[in-house]
Amino acid sequence: MPIVDAASLPTDPYINRELSMLEFNYRVLDQAAISDTPILERLRFLCISCTNLDEFFEVRVAALKQRLEIGAPTQGPDKLAPQQLFDELRRRALILVDQQYEMLNAVIFPELAKEHIFFPKREDWTANQKHWLTAFFHDEIVPVLTPLTLDPSRPFPKILNKSLNFIVRLDGKDAFGRRRHRAIVQAPRSLPRIIRLPEHLSEPGCSNFVFLSSIIHAHVDDLFPQMQVDGCYQFRVTRNSNLYVDNEEVEDLIHALEGQLAASRYGAAVRLEISHRCPQDLCDFLLDHFSLDQADLFTVDGPVNLNRLVAVCDMAERPELCYPAFTPGLPRSLKTDASLFTVLNNRNILLQHPYQSFAPVIEFIATAATDPDVLAIKQTLYRTGADSPIVEHLVRAATAGKEVTAIIELMARFDEAANISLANRLQEAGAHVIYGLVGYKTHAKMSLVVRREQGKMRRYVHLGTGNYHPGTARVYTDYSYFSSSQKLGEDVHKIFMQLTSLTAAVDLDRILTAPFLLFDEMIMRIDREIAYAEAGIDARIIAKINALTAPRIIDALYRASAAGVQIDLIVRGICSLRPGVPGLSENIRVRSIVGRFLEHSRIFYFLNDGKEEFFCSSADWMDRNFFRRTETCFPIRQRPLKDRLKADLELFLADNCQAWELRQDGTYEKLSPGSDAPKSAQDSFLNKLATLSKSST
């Protein structure tokens, strides 16, 4: 558990979002400590916590440091001063990093060794292993290395964001008779960070892995002949990866973004990670070069690029040490030879990924691409992956002469380059490509197919809480909703028209959209529950979301709590609301579910005096989702589907195995069954939905 200094906590009603984000990483890291979890999955959770922390520094800490540099005033509802926040973030991040490396060295490596997976240290290499690694170094590594001795004609090289590097202390004279003191060795991106030794160099049934950093360490002397190497220490620099596009000045978004992507690889340094064995004078030298302070230094007992260990999960080729594979289920209505369009003419379909297959989502676009009666396909794309089958089918449809419109969000963080490539492919195929709207990310997940049937146009829609990405659909929990409802189809058509022509989407019948309707509609529904509670009528709100930071939504929930509304919030990550505070939020409970799958779905429930309302949404309850993004929030109105969603929410609220409860001070307490029967929502869904064959919805 993270260590929290109670004296440093704010006394106001809001939890700082950055501190809450760090708390989530503690919960992820805890998954690596669960002995019942397969060991390679425990390693994966450790790596995820490290990747999350990288992004945290690249984005959140980078922005905070910029505020500190310009002397920006306190911002955010929690009123934490920038310097106070930075100090607290650093203190907690240091604890988290120490726990990550303690987990690696004291838990993960020993447990892997029990399964005959080893990471031998240099001093433990056998003679045969040393011989092979020396040959590997000279044959595979040296040809792409460029060691650089530092002097006035060879200044410090550019260091790529999060790349593996070494600072080398030298003694002696170079070939020109000049005394040298320091050198930099950069590990090219083309080199694997982990090398698996050949089977003949390992005991039968054993796998041995060696870090690239260890190989370079062992042979660094060969890079500086006739000079003495007095020390070699790996380091890594994390840089500001925020992209800035001037909404008023930019004329060509794709060209502006391409320029920003190139520059972001060498943005301002925000963190220096270095071996804990590195002498202080070399640490100071690097800090000075990168314009960093001692507070930005993180010394580590292990590889600085810890998240690269995730490759071992596949390289080990030990499926029995991973989660058991499962086959996603399909509702009975889709297990026929009938066209998906025929099925949708008879019923709406709600799928829950990954327990139910993502294949129907791909099939929806694939069928539309080849169906001669389909005239047009419209699609939003936020994160799809570089080799997206959805994009392949859209390309095929456009090439076949169908009217294809793709709204591609170029500013999807860390997916910008892939989205630019996808946009270019679609344009070359003849599709209409729109790059979203500068200043308003297109975060909605929706597809629209227009089909001619019996001389009339009919619309089919898919709406989702997650991205059109088959890979993430296997590890993210999300909902997919298919419908041929003409009112829903008309709404989706109007939203696409708004995105392409910038005209107002007026008189929507079913869908609540951001940035125009969603916030007011959520406030209205919270106020309605307040009115019921004040009238002595049972009132309840349940929301399953990824993040809750919007101050006015939090204030409305506080008012609802004071009125007696029972509120359950299932918030995976950031939560700025303080639950259980007398006189403020004693009727609010907040829990976070962290397990095998990343909880990504958004569900909103309002009791509404017994006329229950259920919504699924692409939006979290954050100001950015309400006011700076295009989002969709769509109702689930059919009773069987509403019953399913209610049962799903009840499973999440009953979870006592993978649930954490948020406390007033902003920390989380992990729940345990105790004397109760163990209940895991994710395990229940796997058991119930993965093999489901009787459902008709």
Which residues are marked as active site?
Answer: 443
Q: Which of 325, 328, 330 is nearest to 693 (CA)?
A: 330
Map tokens 């071996």 to a residue.
275
Give, in order, the Cα–Cα distances in Å from 340 to each of 334, 343, 407, 449. 7, 5, 24, 12
Q: Could you tell me if 539 and 533 are in contact, meaning their C-beta atoms sit under 8 angstroms apart?
A: yes
Residue type, 190: S
- HSE (CB half, 13 Å, CA atoms) of 516? 15
Q: Where are the alpha helices (DSSP H) in 380-517?
A: 389-399, 416-428, 486-501
Q: Could you tell me if 82 and 67 are in contact, meaning their C-beta atoms sit under 8 angstroms apart?
A: yes
Q: Which of 560, 558, 551, 682 is nearest to 624 (CA)?
A: 551
Other C-beta atoms lying within 10 Å of the C-beta of residue 113: 12
Q: Which tokens sit at 460?
A: 């089919």
Q: DSSP secondary-structure letter at 6?
A: G
Q: What angle do CA 185, 191, 195 make, to 5 degrees?
A: 110
Which residues, in sequence order, are CB contacts of 28 under 8 Å at separation 6+? 45, 48, 49, 52, 594
Give the whole-angstrom CA distance, residue 133 versus residue 129: 6
Q: DSSP secondary-structure letter at 328?
A: P
Q: Rounded to the nearest 5°, which phi and psi values hold at 196? A: -90, 125
Q: Could you tell me if 335 and 310 are in contact, meaning their C-beta atoms sit under 8 angstroms apart?
A: no
Q: Rounded to the nearest 5°, which phi and psi values hold at 438? A: -55, 125
Other C-beta atoms lying within 10 Å of the C-beta of residue 240: 21
Give the whole-angstrom CA distance, residue 684 versus residue 388: 30
Specify burial of residue 245 (Cβ count, 10 A radius: 0-12, 13-18, 19+).
middle
Antiparallel, parallel or unpaired: β 629-635 and 441-442: parallel
**Between helices 82-102 and 17-31, what is the axis angle to 10°?**
0
Q: Could you tell me if 352 and 470 are in contact, meaning their C-beta atoms sit under 8 angstroms apart?
A: no
Give, in order, the Cα–Cα distances in Å from 620 to each of 7, 53, 401, 488, 549. 31, 21, 37, 21, 9
